[in-house]
Amino acid sequence: MTTKGHLFPTSNSLRVKLQKLYAYLFDGFSFDVELFDYTAYWDRLSQENVPPPSQFKLDLIKSIVDQGSSVLDIGCGDGILLDYLSKTKGIEAHGIDVGSKAIELTKAKGIHVDEADISQPEFQVTETYDFIVISEVMEHLPKPEELITKLKGKFRKCLIVTIPNTGFITDRLRLLLGRFPKQWALNPSEHLRFWTVTDFVFWCKQLGFKVDKYYGLHDEYYDTKAKLWKYYPKLMSRFVLYKVTES
């Protein structure tokens, strides 16, 4: 139920949103003292009621991927995207992940998945695919340049990348107030690299790639009837999806 003439749901809901926004802008954030462990992360997620990726994100990727095409999802997690594309677009699905729990969850969906550490120098993609997806993975890598360079000549149509947008308005405000943006869940060591939309477009160009198009991704917490995240992704979207081709 919404209040007529307002962008946000109800006064109570708005109050909660503003309280969370205030906390994000001004507070520090406690975190697990132990360094981030990916396997433990998926063990924890599999035991908690964690919401799946937004339907908007799944449908946006579905609209890009062709019917019956081959898709490699690097860092496929629990395989929910590949499972959705298999059911809706009849794709030939392939996944890569490093976590044993994530691989177990993906295999349980009947999806072919290989175990590999994409951050290691010896990692290579040996086959060629119509589409390669790297969704919320690049920010976790110390040298994402090495990974994306290895993908040259390995996709026929495009590379689909989603990453956090450090140019998001609340991140800009947090920097203005003297604090670095928080883009992690359990531990600051989760995210090692950061991009704004402008930075990512330039970064791709430097590496011999081209961003053909980018999209703001729907975020339920920040959603409004105005859909500013959709029309002004550089400033109003926490996460952005990029369609990338070789220059």
∠ CA 106-107-111, rounded to 5°: 80
Task: Quote the pLDDT of residue 227.
Answer: 83
Residue 218 has pLDDT above 90, yes or no: no
Structural domain includes residue 41: yes
Q: Which amino acid is at 117?
A: D
Which is higher by pLDDT, 98 or 3?
98
Structural domain includes residue 7: no
3 vs 127: CA distance, rounded Å: 53
Residue 63 · residue 88 · CB < 8 Å: no
The pair of structure tokens assigned to 93 is 């699905």
Residue 2 has pLDDT above 60, yes or no: no
Structural domain includes residue 16: no
Which is higher by pLDDT, 147 or 230?
147
Residues 6+ away with beta carbon under 8 Å from 44? 186
Task: Please compute Rg for the chain using Cα positions.
Answer: 19
CATH of the domain at 172: 3.40.50.150
pLDDT above 70 coverage of the chain, percent: 84
Question: Which band of pLDDT confidence, cut at 50, 70 and 90, is reported for residue 152?
Answer: very high
Structural domain includes residue 10: no
The stretch 150-164 carries a mean pLDDT of 98
Question: Which band of pLDDT confidence, cut at 50, 70 and 90, is reported for residue 185?
Answer: confident
Question: Which band of pLDDT confidence, cut at 50, 70 and 90, is reported for residue 28?
Answer: confident
Residue 157 · residue 129 · CB < 8 Å: no
Question: Which band of pLDDT confidence, cut at 50, 70 and 90, is reported for residue 221?
Answer: low
CA-based nearest residue to 140, from 123, 159, 162, 124: 162
Residue 115 · residue 97 · CB < 8 Å: yes
What is this structure's pTM? Answer: 0.88
Query: Please, what is the average pLDDT of the chain?
Result: 88
Residue 41 has pLDDT above 80, yes or no: no
Structural domain includes residue 87: yes
Place of tokens 């964690």: 50
What is the domain extent for residue 53? 37-246
59 vs 61: CA distance, rounded Å: 5
Task: Quote the pLDDT of residue 5.
Answer: 33
Place of tokens 């060629």: 128
Strand 70-74 relative to strand 155-164, pairing? unpaired
Structural domain includes residue 76: yes
The 3-state DSSP class for residue 220 equals coil
Residue 10 has pLDDT above 50, yes or no: no
Structural domain includes residue 11: no
Q: How many CB atoms lie within 10 A of CB 57?
A: 20
Give the pLDDT confidence of 84-139 residue by residue, as tens digits. 999 999 999 999 999 888 899 999 999 999 999 999 999 999 999 999 999 999 99
How many domains does the chain fold into?
1
